[in-house]
Structure 1
């Protein structure tokens, strides 16, 4: 009995219920699926490059699917047909008249970036470890005009001024036919006639004609087009077309079997990524620089269009021009590599800009980027219950162009504030960053000064009539 009383009963482990394991597996699968859905474009680009390396004959020019027609023409036609279906005709014509904006973008893309690129190329030529053909290819890449399709798609998805991007895509490639060969003759001493007729013909077929057709269809069948926009995500279709274009580009690249040492092309890869980041920062800084904003009338959507158009380079003119200038050169594949690398970089990195740019465009209107607070100016006689209202610099219509109606900078009429206790001393100013797009549309943001033991902050949304306060 003693021994029996000393024994302890140990419960057998209970197997985990199958339903619990299935539930956990479903949770993990859902998490993976959500990540894929969120980053599908970048994953698609990576897959396209890998697939092109594995089977280059599939999507190359003259390959299994005749990609020089089905993709090079077909994908671009679809992109601009969708733009024609979604853009308002009045907004498009309004943007065309903003010549100062177009001149600003073309100056960055066809004057400023080529000069900077040539400076880096000259530094490469002085290095004994760098390939001279790669340096020449960098000059060719940097003298190209803005890309035709990527800038339009990314500008739209970032909340930018799509008509501005579209007009500059067309304008830049027309001007680039003449300007790019001139820069190459000046920088490299290479002379050759750009394929003017071929480029203009390609632009007429792939850009202008689909755009006009889309506008006509939108005018004749407005309701069906509107329903189609609600049911079909035009933006994702545009992204899919860009993936196909990148795939076609890398199929051609891998088919050429370019042989180059890693010590040459790896530094070029990082250099061009750095150049794209530099040009992006330069474009956004110039577009949000207060003196330029006042002269050119830029707003946030315009700044996004400047970034996307000013920092990107096209393959559509670059590859034919390289063929004309270096067609008999044994290293034509090496010379074309910098343009291909830059094109891939602008697609991959540009897609990462979209989410942050969209947040910025939808955020508070104050000009400099990023805007952490409002400038309040001289408070003057602002007693308790009075407000200092700092509004957006200007209103904008749906096309992104400035309206002619002036916006008052200050107002001192009393409003009913929402009281929020804060530890600020009496008479201090509570500065608050407003998240939302109401201020950008010209609606007022009110800052209340005064109080016995605390400052009060409120936001007045004039057109909506709602008020919200925070500490």
Structure 2
């Protein structure tokens, strides 16, 4: 029994296989575009099902859970920049100055939306609060990230010209609209969703695997394994691991210290420790000269893959807790 607990579960093995596949056979060109669209569709289905699963009381509680949202925003836009600046004397010697500029840049980015919510679903966390918190982080990042870049990286040039209405529209279409549609159809399909919950969990896990493959493919095609010599890559891995480990530890400790439930803790950990590759790459192209953007984005690419892999394992550990601890909604 003790030995079996040390063996990786099927989902972890599937995750490793997905990363290996993306490294050897990354999706690029038309295939990559197809997987990008497929990811959007699968995540939309995920939100639709959870909208049908959650009761009206749970949705209202998720929107009004201001203490949780405040902690997630503080972790995303305060804790990360502080970690990057305070640890700079220790971590910067491990990488080049250009790479550490990229590390500071990732520290001021908003949280991811798709993977944070998918991991929360796998771990049986507070889905309503996760959708509200992750979406709000992305919207706030449109304004807060450029301001933080000016404080943390005053040498950055240019002005971020984000399509605010376009970003809001994409979030509404991809996340909120399917969620609301599923919730409105709950009286007719809610029973089916509940009866087939054990089978439908594979949609949650499948969405995570698809996000990992699509994101890792884009990183490999973008030169993840050829941009860096081995010593610099090893140093970058250490830097990203230290920052991610401290962020996960801090969010977990704060959630427990402040008396949040286990479901809320899961949401705080997964929404408060993520950084968005989708938002970060366009911002980097605007804020930094084109010849420097590659090295600046590379830490974000490495951190993004690392957070997906680590949080996938954490989600499985949370999911193995007794079913009685699941949210009643």
Question: For residues 249-264 of structure 1, what are the structure 2 equivalents within 5 Å?
Answer: 249-257=215-223, 258-264=226-232
**What is the CA distance between 1:346 and its match in structure 2?**
1.6
Higher relative contact order (CA 8 A, sep 6+): 2
1:151 matched residue in structure 2 = 116
2:66 corresponding residue in structure 1? 99
- Cα root mean square deviation, aligned: 2.9
Which residue of 272, 277, 283 corresponds with 1:310? 272
Q: How does 1:43-442 map to 2 (within 5 A)?
A: 43-56=13-26, 59-60=27-28, 62-64=29-31, 66-67=33-34, 69-121=36-88, 123-125=90-92, 127=93, 130-189=95-154, 190=156, 191-227=159-195, 229-230=196-197, 233-257=199-223, 258-289=226-257, 292-293=258-259, 298-326=260-288, 328-358=289-319, 398-399=328-329
TM-score by length of 1: 0.62
Between Structure 1 and Structure 2, the one with more helix by share is 2
8 Å Cα contact 1:194/1:324 also seen in 2: no
2: CA distance between counterparts of 1:363 and 1:222? 20
Q: Considering only CA atoms, is the larger Rg found in Structure 1 or Structure 2? A: 1
TM-score, normalised relative to structure 2: 0.86
Report if aligned partners of 2:252, 2:265 keep a CA contact under 8 Å in 1.
yes
CA distance in 2, matches of 1:223, 1:344: 36
Distance 1:398 1:332 in 2: 46
1:300·1:361 contact (CA, 8 Å) conserved in 2? no
**Could you tell me how far apart the structure 1 residues matched to 2:113 and 2:149 are?**
21
In structure 1, list runs of 5 or more residues that go unmatched: 1-30, 365-395, 400-471
Q: How many residues align?
A: 322
Residues 76-135 of structure 1 deviation map (CA, whole Å, 9 limit, x = unaligned): 32332232222222201122112222112211221112221233346545x3x6222211
Shift of 1:179: 0.9
Cα separation, 2, equivalents of 1:95 and 1:361: 22
Distance 1:333 1:234, change over 3 A: farther
